Amino acid sequence: EVNGTRMQDGTTRTMIFGVATLISYVSRFMTLEPGDIITTGTPPGVGMGQKPEPIYLKPGDRMRLGIEKLGEQAQTVYAWRR
């Protein structure tokens, strides 16, 4: 969700590589800790593909992402500072 609007919805059933395979692969390069997120690609609904105008994240936007039966996280977008 972005600002309370569902943008994307997908399941692990449609992924090319299974969850266990992805965790095993990433674990070869780093130690995974509770709360870590492995990005795996994107289901339909990406902001750049929205019609009639693309939707991009901007400072102040609130994002919420989650995995059913596992939990969710919320983040706020901040402007990059040099």
DSSP 49-71: G-SSS-----TT-EEEEEETTTE
What is the rounded CA–CA span in Å between residue 66 and residue 13?
Answer: 16
Read off the pLDDT band of 9 (50, 70, 90).
confident
Interval 22-65: pLDDT, tens: 999 999 999 999 989 898 877 778 888 888 999 999 999 999 99
Read off the pLDDT band of 16 (50, 70, 90).
confident
Under a CB-based contact definition with an 8 Å cutoff, are residues 77 and 16 in contact? no
What is the rounded CA–CA span in Å between residue 50 and residue 69?
Answer: 29
What is the rounded CA–CA span in Å between residue 35 and residue 47?
Answer: 25
